Structure 1
Amino acid sequence: MGRVAARAGAALRQWRHPREFRIEPSAWSADALAALARAAVAEPAATSAPAPGGGFPEDELADVATCVWRLRARVARMDDPPRAVVHHVETAWDALADGGVEIKDHAGEPFDPGLAMSVAAYQPTPGLVREQVIETVRPGVYLGSRSIQLAEVIVGTPGTPAEAMRETRTR
């Protein structure tokens, strides 16, 4: 009797609304709906459990982290960013950090060829005494202690472009 009363109540609730906003009754038969309900009760873990590796593919996680890093850098360069934008960017950054994701910007760090990063270019830069990362093209992204994206950087080398050209000609 409860099922009949529920259907009657649902039908009456639909009549309160204009015709174009009414939801049509299900075209599925009662047997099909009952079988679907039994299947949902029998295997709830199959549909609601996260994937074994944490639920989010690592390459997509690295893309999201890179986008948040770029957005955070862009907001930092703005003269007077809207507070709501700053709040949302920082919230996204904190959510990634809470999930164990570390986004590493290597700009300003000394460069060592043994570091796990991809060098996009070497650029002669006056005023440097040793090789140094002068720009990060793409940050390094780590999930826990594991790297899921190598940083891509531009490395400044000591000397001026003229000195570099003389070195190239003498080789």
Structure 2
Amino acid sequence: MKWTRRLAASLRQRLYPEEFRLPEADFGEEQLDLLEELIQMIQPTLCQADAAQKQDKRQMARFLADLGTGIWRIRKKVEGLKRMPKELKEALFALESTWDSMSQGGVEIVDHVGEVPLGMVPRVVRTEDVPGLEREQVVEALSPTILLRGEVVQVGEVVLGRPAPLVPVPGEEASHG
């Protein structure tokens, strides 16, 4: 081990009270050199394992986003039905059970309709003038925002409605002047 590393390790130990300091390693130079060589040999494998784990997390996040979006779309379609056959009600029970399981597992599916968008979530895809609106708000969700334990795995896409410009009634302007 180089003398600078030893000095740095010794100084780090001095940051702690004496009773919490680690004893200096009782390795010889050859052992330390061998240990460092072994670390250098396995480091690429550790980096590959880390990259694979990150890839697995991305794939899982993508899967959860796709699953959540699919369940959300089914719920949206069913909400519009006036009548529902018994078989469909039973299937919906299973769907709701899946929704609840995902929620308990830390997956949150956010629709955004009726919200006033603040910040970067969701992504506004289109803006429309909507008569009767008093302020800007989400009028349609094209896809939901999906979070896993508070982290966004899919940014929702929405249509933002804004108050339609007032159209003057003919003849009204003349009466004000």
User: Per the shorter chain, which TM-score range?
Assistant: 0.5 to 0.7
SS in 2 for 1:124: strand
Instruction: Please report how far the alpha carbon of residue 130 of structure 1 lies from its aligned counterpart in structure 2 after TM superposition.
Output: 1.5
SS in 2 for 1:57: helix
SS in 1 for 2:116: coil
| Identity score, percent | 33
Say if 2:64 is the partner of 1:61: yes
Q: Write the letter of the residue equivalent to 1:107.
A: V
Instruction: Please report how far the alpha carbon of residue 98 of structure 1 lies from its aligned counterpart in structure 2 after TM superposition.
Output: 1.7
TM-score of the aligned structures, taking structure 1 as reference length: 0.59
Q: Rg bigger for which structure?
A: 2
List gaps (5 residues or longer) in structure 2.
1-52, 169-177
SS in 2 for 1:111: coil
Q: Write the letter of the residue equivalent to 2:137.
A: Q
SS in 2 for 1:147: strand
Contact 1:124 1:161 in 2 (8 A): no
Contact 1:130 1:158 in 2 (8 A): yes
Cα distance in 1 for partners of 2:91, 2:157 equals: 27
Q: Spell out, residue by residue over 1:12-31, the C-alpha distance to the aligned partner (whole angstroms, 9 max, x if none).
A: xxxxxxxxxxxxxxxxxxxx
Q: Write the letter of the residue equivalent to 1:71.
A: I
Distance 1:57 1:65, change over 3 A: same
What pairs with 1:100-119 in structure 2 (closer than 5 Å)?
100-112=106-118, 114-119=119-124
Instruction: Please report how far the alpha carbon of residue 115 of structure 1 lies from its aligned counterpart in structure 2 after TM superposition.
Output: 3.5
The residue that corresponds to 1:96 in the other structure is: 102
Q: How many residues align?
A: 112
Instruction: Please report how far the alpha carbon of residue 124 of structure 1 lies from its aligned counterpart in structure 2 after TM superposition.
Output: 0.5
**In angstroms, what is the RMSD of aligned CA positions?**
2.3
The residue that corresponds to 1:14 in the other structure is: none
The residue that corresponds to 1:77 in the other structure is: 80
Residue from 111, 118, 129 that aligns with 1:124: 129
Instruction: Please report how far the alpha carbon of residue 117 of structure 1 lies from its aligned counterpart in structure 2 after TM superposition.
Output: 1.6
Cα distance in 2 for partners of 1:122, 1:87 equals: 35
